[in-house]
Structure 1
Amino acid sequence: MYDTLFAHRHYTMKIIYLITYVALANGVEKFEVFRQWTLLNYTWRSQAEYKDALKTRRYVPQNNAPAGIKIYRNILYASVPKFREGVPVTLTTVENKPFNPLLTPFPSWELNDDSDCGNLQNVQSMEIDTKGTMWVLDGARINNYTRCPTKLVLLDLNNVGKVIRVKVFPNEVSLKVGGFLNDLVVDETSGGFAYITDASPVDPGLIVYSKEKNEAWKLRDSSMFSGKTDPQLFIKGSVVDSSYPIDGIALSPPRDDRIVYYCSVGSDVLYSIPTSVLKNQQLANTGEWRKNITAVGRKLGQSDGITIDSDGDLFYTLPTFYGVGKWNTSTPLWTSELFDRDEQQMVWTDGFAFDQRGYIYLITNYMYKFIQPKETLFHDGRVLFRVFRYHTGTKSYLYDK
């Protein structure tokens, strides 16, 4: 259905892409490298602990990869999801140096001790609101490294990461075995909401969490499934599984009725739905809410992470183009542009962050290899992970102009 609906615009977008591709090949790259790693290592409490972690395979250096990034008060936070054995911590702060900066468990080693379900188990991503509260998705449950329920953890960054609240999701909202809380946006209106993508291969959907009610509900629709008719992804000679369902999510700035945008890795179609619909728990219990889903159009390609700034510009990753797309949400989606690309350095453009100084940040991380246990990892000393930044002069979607 969508192939017919967007065929002409999709063709037009591909022509625009080819023109932009040539322009970028001869122009100046926009993003600059901010941090980079060959391997991740941590600020261990002692040399003895470090050696023991290596010996017992509690820490397997080559199996550690950063995923979600956020910035608050000039501190870079990074999640390290446990997609393979030997990942000792899952939420960290990053040392302030450009090459191979060490990671420090956040808020502490103790809260990263996964032997207790009350602690952080397997974090994929997080968001930081305007008050300095970090909303942490502890919900990667697609392997055997934990059997604890998925949960949302709120941390106070103005008080050394003190736990404010823990919301454990019931199985009917997010599966204890097979759930995958992938990404979120925070809406600070009406008492506070989080809109969360559950990329579960078993039960995908969009989770709405009301901070005021401390309740969560899940919306499921065919638009949130994987795009099974879309082509496979090819990255650096590897065929990448593109069957992941709803993944990227973005929220328009706080003006009028805000809009949530979402997409799956397996499709280049971008969808939207008003937040007024998502907030209506009674409506969510019916099928009527589906009438409010809009198929916005086709992006230049398939995406992982997406985000919106305070000007209403939507940035979206383009892993197969080794770059980033950009679209102003007040215009038709076919006017998207290939904003930047670098085939050598931007291998798997993953997600974004904003700071308070007008920069947008991008992480690239070869994640397509780490998330698939059968994929062979590199051991040749190359730089695998990079955080880039670019000065937009804007803030995140949490702020108005």
Structure 2
Amino acid sequence: MTPYFVAIFLLGLTSLATAANFTQVFEWPDGMDYEWPSEAIFLSLTKDNGIPAALVSLLTSSASSPPPKLTPFPSWDIHLNEPANCNKIQRARGLQVDSVGRLWVLDAGSDSCNATLWIFNLNTNETDFIHRFSFHGWMHDLVLEETQNGTFAYITRWRNQHIVVFSLERNESWTVDTPEINPSSIALLSPKKETRQLYLSNYHTNELYSISVSALRNGTQTANPELVGYWTAIRTYRMLIDNHGTMYAAFLWKNYVHSWNTSQSFEEQRVYQGDGLNFVWPFTFALDQNGTLWMMVVDIITRPIYRILKVCSGSCHEIGTA
């Protein structure tokens, strides 16, 4: 499959060393540039923070030094600024690619449209599946669990004391209460054993919790997450776990990334420290299949400057210059 990062990144599963040296790859000092179609009518489109497309792809093998233009995925048409048209992507949030090459996109919806789960076939760029939720707004992130009995998505919503569970095979979604916990970022650990753990951060605190996913699949209405540990910062914005069990966490309004080896007692380590950058919404990071950690950050001290950084666990090559 062509090595695209969809909505900046496709998530892979490769471990990194504890300490990492990031190299800036791209910078957009005057705002992000887009691959515009010939029809000038699309120039008037707007999305959150003035970005006209909520879901884009980036060819990471580019050897050019200027920052590349971003391509809306799967087409410009699905990003038209029509808040009342529920057949358009309104606000793309969490993303993940499954093992059979499908991109799952969590769409927060609009005042007129309920939240939606889009599933795209990356071989054809066509929509494979659409699930409409019974609510809209506050959607933040999702992780996938692929089992012999089906594929499940676990979803967090800002300011809600529950998580959302979706079963693809049944085309059903339901909420699981998490009393006194407002889950924000989410990560799934799939060890080489039966019990899989879902990790949740509490938005208002620095607490990290875990839940066994077996009860979630079976339709439990209330979960009681267990406290794992305390990050040094509150409001964990993004988390991911690689296939060696290392968790990476980025925090809202912080310019560093921490990691934790989940096979050991909770003890975080700093793997990246930014130089004068403020990580603000939106930003994300992911591991690709080549062992490269990609991170998008936004610096808005004076004006929005978008940067994409990368660091490799092994040998790697630059795909552009700052």
The one-letter code of the counterpart of 2:130 is V
CA distance in 2, matches of 1:87, 1:338: 31
Aligned-pair CA distance for 1:321: 4.6
Aligned-pair CA distance for 1:348: 3.7
The one-letter code of the counterpart of 1:153 is W
The one-letter code of the counterpart of 1:128 is V
- Are 2:22 and 1:31 aligned? yes
Alpha carbons 2:162, 2:179 under 8 Å: kept: no
CA distance in 2, matches of 1:363, 1:158: 25
Shift in alpha-carbon separation, 1:295–1:223, aligned structure 2, 3 A? farther
Shift in alpha-carbon separation, 1:48–1:153, aligned structure 2, 3 A? closer
Aligned-pair CA distance for 1:111: 1.7
Instruction: Name the residue aligned to 2:80.
Output: 113
Q: In the alignment, which of 380, 390, 393 is matched to residue 311 of structure 2? A: 390
Alpha carbons 1:323, 1:341 under 8 Å: kept: yes
Superposed counterparts of 1:6-155, under 5 Å: 30-38=21-29, 39-46=31-38, 48-49=40-41, 53=43, 57-59=44-46, 82-84=47-49, 86-95=50-59, 96=62, 97=64, 99-115=66-82, 116-139=85-108, 141=110, 146-155=111-120
Q: In the alignment, which of 322, 325, 340 is matched to residue 258 of structure 2? A: 325
The one-letter code of the counterpart of 2:308 is V
CA distance in 2, matches of 1:98, 1:274: 46
Aligned-pair CA distance for 1:268: 0.8
Instruction: Name the residue aligned to 1:360.
Output: 293
Which structure carries more relative contact order (alpha carbon 8 Å, separation 6+)? 2
CA distance in 2, matches of 1:258, 1:341: 31
**Alignment RMSD (CA, Å):** 2.3
Alpha carbons 2:91, 2:109 under 8 Å: kept: yes
Q: In the alignment, which of 146, 170, 187 is matched to residue 250 of structure 1? A: 187
Instruction: Give 1 or 2: higher helix fraction.
Output: 1
Aligned-pair CA distance for 1:222: 3.1
Instruction: Name the residue aligned to 1:195.
Output: 154
Instruction: Name the residue aligned to 1:308.
Output: 241
- Are 2:181 and 1:224 aligned? yes
Give the ranges of 4+ consecutive aligned residues of structure 1 lying more than 3 Å apart after TM superposition: 47-50, 95-100, 318-321, 345-350
Aligned-pair CA distance for 1:391: 2.0
Q: In the alignment, which of 169, 175, 188 is matched to residue 212 of structure 1? A: 169
Alpha carbons 2:109, 2:116 under 8 Å: kept: no
Q: In the alignment, which of 279, 299, 306 is matched to residue 217 of structure 2? A: 279
3-state DSSP class of the match of 1:111?
helix
The one-letter code of the counterpart of 1:91 is L
Aligned-pair CA distance for 1:94: 2.1
Instruction: Give 1 or 2: higher strand fraction.
Output: 2
Aligned-pair CA distance for 1:98: 5.3
CA distance in 2, matches of 1:265, 1:298: 12
Alpha carbons 1:306, 1:351 under 8 Å: kept: no
Aligned-pair CA distance for 1:29: 5.7
Alpha carbons 1:94, 1:101 under 8 Å: kept: yes
CA distance in 2, matches of 1:33, 1:318: 19
CA distance in 2, matches of 1:105, 1:310: 29
3-state DSSP class of the match of 2:123?
helix
Instruction: Name the residue aligned to 1:241.
Output: none
The one-letter code of the counterpart of 1:182 is H
Instruction: Name the residue aligned to 1:235.
Output: none
CA distance in 2, matches of 1:269, 1:185: 19
Instruction: Name the residue aligned to 1:164.
Output: 128
Instruction: Name the residue aligned to 2:318.
Output: none
3-state DSSP class of the match of 2:48?
coil
Alpha carbons 1:301, 1:320 under 8 Å: kept: no
- Are 2:158 and 1:184 aligned? no
CA distance in 1, matches of 2:58, 2:99: 21
3-state DSSP class of the match of 2:290?
coil
Alpha carbons 2:93, 2:106 under 8 Å: kept: yes
Given the two structures, how large is their TM-score scaled by the length of structure 2?
A: 0.81
CA distance in 2, matches of 1:122, 1:326: 29
Alpha carbons 2:20, 2:311 under 8 Å: kept: no
Instruction: Name the residue aligned to 2:205.
Output: 267
Structure 1 stretch 120-129 or stretch 208-217: which is displaced more? 120-129
Alpha carbons 2:187, 2:198 under 8 Å: kept: yes
CA distance in 2, matches of 1:221, 1:91: 30
Aligned-pair CA distance for 1:48: 3.3
Aligned-pair CA distance for 1:298: 0.2
Shift in alpha-carbon separation, 1:29–1:307, aligned structure 2, 3 A? closer
Structure 1 stretch 340-349 or stretch 181-190: which is displaced more? 340-349
Q: Which protein has the larger Cα radius of gyration, Structure 1 or Structure 2? A: 1
